[in-house]
Amino acid sequence: MFPLKPEEQLREIKLGSVDLVSEAELLAKLKKSYETKTPLRVKAGFDPSRPDLHLGHVVLINKMRQLQNLGHHVMFLIGDFTGLIGDPTGKNETRPALTEEEVQENAKTYARQVFKVLDPERTEVLYNSQWMGQLTATDFIRLVAQYNVARMLERDDFNKRFKGGESIAIHEFLYPLVQGYDSVAMKADLELGGTDQRFNLLVGRDIQKAYGVSQQCILTMPILEGLDGVQKMSKSLNNYIAVEDSPTEMFGKTMRLSDELMVRYYELLGDMTADSLAQFKKDLSIGKKHPRDAKADLAKSFVARFHSSEAATKAEEEFNRMFQQKGLPDEMPEVVLSAQDSMGLCQLIVAAGLAKSNGEARRLVEGRAIERDGEKLLDPKMFMSLSSGEEFVLKAGKKRFAKVKVS
């Protein structure tokens, strides 16, 4: 039933993670699971705040698939109830709660997209409205009585806002408590989350203890950097690869990764074991594996996973045709720009010498004439990060090109 022994499972589970609470507890759970042939119940929750999943979300989902492959029971929780509350994690002010209609519509897309990674036959999809909607006022009072305000203010973002005299709505305190009650209802043995969720995951352990349920272990995963290699992957920063990007977009965006970031994507999003990952890094360091080839392999793996093997082959052929087989001119002007966190697209076009003014640049964008490494850029108000060492080709129309290098 289990392909690896408990100690070997633990090693694979820890791969790419940031924090495990606690290693001794999880090993004990794995040993009991192995002896009794009873899979661990693994939980990860996603609030449907937006309709699209990107590779930042896939870091967690990939770890869930790894646990499936190790023989454990994965529970993909869609927070349709918590989505109505709105988790302020990582924000310095309250995140607006969504309407019930928005939550339900986004939840449908999550359920569809997640099976591009997880095995549907070995995945249990749950909605926390199933149990939270059944709680009475008395039940809620019992739940909130399990925690006090002083403990809640230990959460970093709450603490900063409290000390800064900023508003904290009472309903925000409910979020980690509800997330903790989810673990009670689901009888979770292990919960996964990003590093920004550590406080909430620990609250889950406390709530389980208060309700007489065996406490879950928690495993936190790193926040994935976007294509800029600096800020977290985000659609608003336009540094993302979406699960439902077209094969051409997905392949082209992956090829834009720096060599260093490419290795990190292998660590967090690949299918490698600890041993194969170590060998891969060694091959890169001694020149046995060329970074460009490794990047192409990574790009093909993404397209194959989220589309098909045939689509991956076609995407690679298209990329090579455009960027290696005279799709670009042999010579083009080079522009060196300084690294910066935020540069407007129109400003970039002017700096690259492809337009004389912001007004002209805006008209080029609105006319669908601007591409970055083959990807159409359609928002004249867009801002992007420029990271040191980054290189890309900016194209205006059919014949005007500029190679941008960031120092």
Ordered per-residue pLDDT tens for the chain, 407 residues: 789 999 999 999 998 899 999 999 999 999 999 999 999 999 999 877 777 789 998 999 989 999 999 999 999 998 888 777 665 544 444 445 567 777 777 777 887 888 888 988 889 999 999 999 899 999 989 998 888 888 888 787 788 888 888 888 887 888 889 899 999 999 999 999 999 889 889 999 999 999 999 999 999 999 999 888 888 888 767 788 989 888 988 998 999 888 889 998 998 888 787 788 889 899 888 888 888 899 999 999 999 999 999 999 999 988 887 765 545 665 678 888 988 888 999 999 999 999 889 989 998 998 889 988 878 898 899 888 888 778 888 988 877 888 888 87
C-alpha span between 110 and 114 (Å, rounded): 6
- Nearest partner of 4 among 259, 275, 228, 247, judged by Cα: 275
Q: Which of helix, strand or coil describes residue 21?
A: strand
pTM: 0.69
Provide the token pair at 376. Answer: 């159409």
41 CB-near residues (< 8 Å, 6+ apart): 72, 73, 75, 186, 187, 188, 189, 190
Provide the token pair at 312. Answer: 């991956």
- pLDDT at residue 88 in the model: 53
- pLDDT at residue 405 in the model: 86
- The amino acid at 39: P
Asked whether 276 and 297 are in contact (CB, 8 A), the reply is: no
- pLDDT at residue 367 in the model: 87
How many residues appear in the chain? 407
C-alpha span between 296 and 292 (Å, rounded): 6
198 CB-near residues (< 8 Å, 6+ apart): 19, 218, 220
Asked whether 390 and 406 are in contact (CB, 8 A), the reply is: yes
| HEC letters along 151-210 | HHCCCHHHHHHHHCCCCCCHHHHHHHHHHHHHHHHHCCCEEEEEHHHHHHHHHHHHHHHH
Q: Which of helix, strand or coil describes residue 118?
A: coil
The rounded Cα 285 to chain-centroid distance in angstroms is 27
- pLDDT at residue 41 in the model: 97
